[in-house]
Amino acid sequence: RDHVPLVQVDIMDGKFVEGLTWPYTKGGEEEFARIARREDKLPDAQMLEYEIDLMIKEPEHVIEDWMRAGASRIIVHIESTERMQDIIHDIAAHITRAGDDDIMVVSLGIAINTTTSTKVIDPYASDIDFVQCMGIAEIGKQGEPYDPRVLSQLRALRERHPSLALSVDGSVHFENASELVEAGADRLVSGSEIFGGSDVGKKIEQFHAIVGSD
């Protein structure tokens, strides 16, 4: 919270990917329900915005709860649902009928795997805020090797959708940050590189030195 305005949190249900994280862990669903009811808040909610990466099966069932919980960005993996158009419509509808204190206006992003054709984004490009390209072949785990196929995905998306924000998540390190930005990435999501040492602030400063601070 002393170094960034926004954090990404991976939410995994053990169905779409192998890993299991809060709130699908013991006691987590009850805790999250209190947050969604506005009886509690996400940690440091006054200081941080939250980008929620829904690595879960059929995320359409919980998106409204995450909106009520205070997420400022929500990421849905294209492979996790057959109702992407419905999700886009439902988010817009929820925001329209919500009161000012009821649901946050959120940015919606679609995530794609390195093996997914970038053309799947085309039908939704005008209705979403960003695309997250995965930088690893097996999602849901930290420390996975970098998959350079993400570079061609970034270039293809940037050519077809020049105004769409592009993010990369997975195996984002100091060594590949520049080439990801050069290929078209606007945002970089890094976990193990930042938390792999004792000085988180210094690691973030190193990223800014490589790719800028905007």
pLDDT digits (tens, 9 = 90+) for 57-90: 999 999 999 999 999 999 999 999 999 999 999 8
In this structure, the strands spanning 6-12 and 130-134 are unpaired
Residues 96-141 have pLDDT tens digits of: 666 555 667 789 999 999 999 999 999 999 999 999 999 999 998 8
CB 122 within 8 A of CB 107: no
Q: What is the model's pLDDT at position 98? A: 61
Residues 161-186 have pLDDT tens digits of: 999 999 999 999 999 999 999 999 99
Q: What is the model's pLDDT at position 89? A: 92
Cα–Cα distance, 68 to 64 (Å, whole number): 6
Has residue 203 got a pLDDT over 70?
yes
- Location of structure tokens 């970038």: 118
Please state whether the predicted TM-score (pTM) of the whole model is above 0.85: yes
Largest pairwise CA distance in the chain: 46
